[in-house]
Amino acid sequence: MRLAGISAAVKAALSVVLVGLLQAQGTRLYGGGGWFWVQYSGLMGLGPVVDGLRAQGLSFSAPSGFAGIGGGGGGYLGRIHIGGEGGYFFGGKVGGGAGWARLGYFFPLRGGFIIMPVGIIGGGGLTLQIRDDGTAVSFGQVATTSVPIQSLSTGGMLTGAAIEVQKNLGGFLLGLSAGYLTGPSWKDWETAEGRRLTDGPRVSPGMPYVRLQIGGGGWASPEK
């Protein structure tokens, strides 16, 4: 009975969305906006790094996720959204940043909402802390001390996709985005000091995320 009730509720919600989409097929919206965002992202695909470091005797475990903060914006041109975003990532044993262009196709809904699939392309990078050694070193030993490598960085192209819902609150924008970013075949590695590492493992990190957008702007239909 409980499953039947949940199924009926899901069907009702889908029906409302579909009716809204059908009623909005002829609507065109124009405007723009900018927003601040916060997110949480998972992190996958670092197995080759873990295996390579453990083979050298390091007890490294890949971080499972990280938080992020940044900004973005764009324009709403009929049914097309064009814009960009960028930000910083931070978490236990991982940090980084990225920037990307956005291209979406949106569907106006009742109540000032739009829903849109968004394609993403850009670039970014991640830094992994592979050791946690805070041993003090005398300033007089800076030139002679051999310090083990503490962190590794890699990066490259980013691609991804998302589904977003945004709400126009009369000059105030609120949005929610659920998506997936991936870095296809990152293979260039360097240390925190900028020393290039050869023969590094090839990785394709996967980053599923949920992002909250808060900002200003809006859209309107010239037909009204």
The CATH number for 167's domain is 2.40.160.20
**Number of structural domains the chain divides into:** 1
Q: Is residue 177 part of a domain?
A: yes
pLDDT digits (tens, 9 = 90+) for 108-144: 988 889 999 999 999 999 999 888 766 676 676 666 7
The rounded mean pLDDT for the chain is 87
Does 15 fall in a domain?
A: no
Quick check: is 2 in a domain? Answer: no
**Considering the domain boundaries, does residue 156 fall inside one?**
yes
Does pTM top 0.75 for this prediction? yes
154-189 confidence digits (pLDDT tens): 999 999 999 999 999 989 999 999 999 999 989 889
CA distance 167 to 22: 19
Q: Is residue 19 part of a domain?
A: no
Is residue 57 included in any domain, yes or no? yes
Enclosing domain of residue 94: 30-129+150-220
87 in any annotated domain: yes
C-alpha closest to that of 27 among 194, 175, 168: 168
